[in-house]
Structure 1
Amino acid sequence: MTARELRPARLGPADMLKVGAVGLRTRPLRGFLSALGIAIGIAAMVGVVGISASSGAELDRELDKLGTNLLTAQPGTTLFGEDAELPAAAEGMVGRIDAVTASSAIGRVEGADVYRTGRIDEAETNGLATYAARTDLRATTGAELASGTWLNEATNGYPAVVLGSSAAERLGIGRASPEARVLVGGTRFTVIGVLEPAPLAPELDTAALVGWEAAEAELGFGGHPTRIYTRSPNDDVPAVRSALAATANPEAPDEVDVTLPSDALAAQQAADQAFTGLLLGLGAVALLVGGVGVANTMVVSVLERRSEIGLRRSLGATRRQIRDQFLAESLLLSAIGGLGGMLLGAAATGGYALYQGWPTVIPPWAWLGALAAPLVIGGLAGLYPAIRAARLSPTEALAAP
């Protein structure tokens, strides 16, 4: 026989996968449990990344709709640590800034607590506050109505109130109607509107908003604004921000706090991303545990199949072919778990996003990671058992019980 005829048969990748699949088919339960460990880790990672990305996409969509050009000015503290006060003319002065395209204001009405009925204990305020509101407030802040109507020139001087979303919930009022009434500072007001949650003006969520004139006539409001809202072109926001404090209170600009509400939302998103990093770490731990399970399965498989290894070696299989067989089995096991985990994570992301009304977003790198991570884990987990199987001599393997 020639040297060429004595060479062992070469096995291609497809042949190696078929050989590797034999071990999985003969031990389906053990293979399923090992693949499940990988699937849980991958599903956790894809789900966490997908839900975080979907939440970020919803925030971006919300900001695009509401705008990131809303600035607010409110009283800060004096040099002696006391609460400052904006001048009564502050709103008008701010509205005269060249780049300001819209402005509005609210004013806190002190002592005007809000109750559903007069039988509620005075201490049970539910954390609600009463504000005098301008009729153009909703247009400036981008707040939306859940039901009813907004304050207008006709209702500005009458006992009519618009409730924020949380305020309406705490008062047990589902929607605005002529029959829905609340006590504001001891005066009965008709609920003419209920707002949706206001992301850029969260202080409105727990507010009872009454007309500016009605607040002065019915509740003794002094006319000083406690928060001024402005809109300006995006390019002019930095300039308006730098001039807003000095314009709102020329005598004491240091006593005015100027904020960009969208910055708070961006900070919240950054905090969510940090939390996402923690969850990704937990997913990685789960994936590592799955890899240990695969390694354990492969080690046990080598011990149980020593006679098979010896028979294949005696029939001409090389050490490399034995090693590649067990390595292929480990990779195949991890790939099955990774594919299942990827589908499970995508389904979880889609279901949660649909429930929340968010767009479903899974970054491309998450898909690539879900494909690559199981193969890396499977390769590392199966490497030692594959090498151990390849080192068994035919006589030693066949002599095993």
Structure 2
Amino acid sequence: MIRPVRLSPLDLLDVGLLGIRTRRMRAAFSALGIAIGIATTALVTGVPAASQAALLRELSTLGTNSLQVMAQPGTDPPRLPAESVAMVQRIGPVTVASAVANTHTLVRRNDRTDARDGSGLTVLAARLDLPQAINATVRSGRWLDPVTERFPTVVLGSVAATRLGFADLPAAGGPAPMVIIGDRWFTVVGILAATPLSPDIDRSVLVGWEAARSQLRFDGHPTVIYVQCREPAIETVRAVLPATVSPEQPGQVVVTRPSDALAAKRATEGTFSALLLGLAAVALLVGGIGVANTMVIAVWERRTEIGLRRALGAHRGQIRAQFLTESAALAALGGVAGTLVGLAATAAYAIGQGWPVVVPLPATLVGLGGAVVVGVVAGVYPSIRAARLTPTEALAST
């Protein structure tokens, strides 16, 4: 009994690629179908992913990882323990913790204005890391530093600067403007831009923590603590803040709830994930139908080749493997080309919109793997149909 010759994987690949090598134009058009499908997959996953990244970045600026801690209203005096900021900083997920404290003094433009008119502004003692905790930026001048925080210098919030009559600070070398707090003169060294997350800061005059102690008789107890932490842990941090700030009386501490933008951000993440999966599935289905149609036509046109191979001893399994390999190869070639085109189009569109360029690596790898799987599945029926042809049927139909 003559045993059929077994094809090695390399031989099988060579036979499977024979149709692609000999019919290059047809193979190119066949791969184009799956390429369009995979390019669509890359595009419809990449563009929403870039849009999602831009949206999430915008939502993150709305304080999705920020909390505020303050004394319970009605507490007399409404203040927190002096060591509370350092205690909050020791919480693992906390990245920044800073504080301000009300000095209960009035600020005036000069000593000729009514001593009882503070223009509706609040004089706050501020720690040096406050801008990082509230995402504040300096519009003019500079923020306090370890040197200036010890001297009678102030930084104005955006509204405070307008009410006191300061649009901008003079250029370097010019005379620095001054304001009077209580009965002492303070030099204005900076003006903050608007802080949407902390509107109270906009209406405040900020004095260095140490200068407030020495110049305004500040006792060192913060009024409000600003906290930023890792976003996934924000609920956990919020739960432990009262006992951390005031272990003896946690009920006297109020912690703001997370920004509504956090819920919107998480809902956006879930919605986009479902959308991406749906679009990718549709695109792959379209590409698979194109490969299946191509392989059915290939079997019909290559009946003579099939009959000749069967007459020379090729068994049905080898015929099936040949067409499955060709189908998978076409899908893989189309998948690679489509992925490159889709990623390039996605990058161009994202750059044009000013979005961050996001390459959804899992979706890209799934798209490539899915292309091969779809190609194999699409080639199952054509390969079975080719294997069922007997040599006489295949040769007689030519």
Q: Give me the TM-score of the superposition, normalised by structure 1.
A: 0.58
Q: Secondary structure at the match of 1:71?
A: strand
RMSD: 5.4
The residue identity in structure 2 corresponding to 1:369 is V
1:397 maps to 2:389: no
CA shift digits 1:359-396 (9 cap, x unpaired): 96755x55653442222111111111111111122333
Corresponding residue for 1:30? 29
The residue identity in structure 2 corresponding to 1:259 is R
Deviation, structure 1 residue 45? 7.5
Inter-partner Cα distance in structure 2 for 1:86 and 1:378: 71
1:332 maps to 2:326: no
Contact 1:73–1:229 (8 Å) recurs in 2: yes
1:71 maps to 2:71: no
Give the counterpart of 1:140 among 123, 130, 144.
130
Contact 1:147–1:193 (8 Å) recurs in 2: yes
Give the counterpart of 2:316 among 315, 319, 325.
319
Deviation, structure 1 residue 292? 1.5
Give the counterpart of 1:203 among 197, 202, 205.
197
The residue identity in structure 1 corresponding to 2:30 is G
What are the equivalent positions in structure 2 for 1:314-393 lying under 5 Å apart? 314-344=311-341, 346-347=343-344, 352=350, 363=361, 368-393=365-390
Q: Secondary structure at the match of 2:87?
A: coil
Contact 2:16–2:325 (8 Å) recurs in 1: yes
Contact 1:100–1:232 (8 Å) recurs in 2: no
* Structure 1 gap segments, 5+ residues each: 76-83, 108-129, 164-175, 180-189, 214-226
Q: Say if 1:240 and 1:395 are closer, same or farther in 2 by CA, change over 3 A.
A: closer
Q: Secondary structure at the match of 1:99?
A: helix
1:242 maps to 2:242: yes
Inter-partner Cα distance in structure 2 for 1:331 and 1:193: 64
The residue identity in structure 1 corresponding to 2:87 is A
Contact 1:161–1:211 (8 Å) recurs in 2: yes
Inter-partner Cα distance in structure 1 for 2:394 and 2:250: 93
Corresponding residue for 1:303? 300
Corresponding residue for 2:272? 275
Corresponding residue for 1:162? 158
The residue identity in structure 1 corresponding to 2:297 is V
Q: Say if 1:279 and 1:237 are closer, same or farther in 2 by CA, change over 3 A.
A: closer
Q: Say if 1:195 and 1:334 are closer, same or farther in 2 by CA, change over 3 A.
A: farther
Corresponding residue for 1:228? 224
Corresponding residue for 1:115? none
Corresponding residue for 2:175? none
Give the counterpart of 2:256 among 239, 244, 258.
258
Contact 1:104–1:230 (8 Å) recurs in 2: yes
The residue identity in structure 2 corresponding to 1:72 is Q
Deviation, structure 1 residue 286? 0.9
The residue identity in structure 2 corresponding to 1:25 is R
Inter-partner Cα distance in structure 1 for 2:83 and 2:265: 32
Contact 1:150–1:162 (8 Å) recurs in 2: no
> Identity over aligned residues, as a percent?
32
CA shift digits 1:235-255 (9 cap, x unpaired): 9956851338989xx89859x
Deviation, structure 1 residue 10? 4.2
Contact 1:53–1:362 (8 Å) recurs in 2: no
Q: Secondary structure at the match of 2:224?
A: strand
Contact 1:24–1:333 (8 Å) recurs in 2: no
Deviation, structure 1 residue 41? 5.0
CA shift digits 1:123-156 (9 cap, x unpaired): xxxxxxx985735277235124264246765456
The residue identity in structure 1 corresponding to 2:26 is R
Contact 1:20–1:329 (8 Å) recurs in 2: yes
What are the equivalent positions in structure 2 for 1:173-188 lying under 5 Å apart? 177=168
Q: Secondary structure at the match of 1:203?
A: coil
1:99 maps to 2:87: yes
Corresponding residue for 2:286? 289
Corresponding residue for 1:221? none
Q: Secondary structure at the match of 2:69?
A: strand
Inter-partner Cα distance in structure 1 for 2:373 and 2:200: 52
Deviation, structure 1 residue 303? 2.5
Corresponding residue for 1:172? none
Contact 2:70–2:225 (8 Å) recurs in 1: no
Inter-partner Cα distance in structure 1 for 2:142 and 2:240: 28
Q: Secondary structure at the match of 2:42?
A: helix
Q: Give me the TM-score of the superposition, normalised by structure 2.
A: 0.58
Corresponding residue for 2:214? none
CA shift digits 1:169-221 (9 cap, x unpaired): xxxxxxx7459xxxxxxxxxx9x64549x7xxx524898444279xxxxxxxx
Inter-partner Cα distance in structure 1 for 2:43 and 2:226: 43
Contact 1:35–1:337 (8 Å) recurs in 2: yes
Contact 2:98–2:227 (8 Å) recurs in 1: yes
Q: Say if 1:232 and 1:145 are closer, same or farther in 2 by CA, change over 3 A.
A: closer
Q: Secondary structure at the match of 1:259?
A: coil
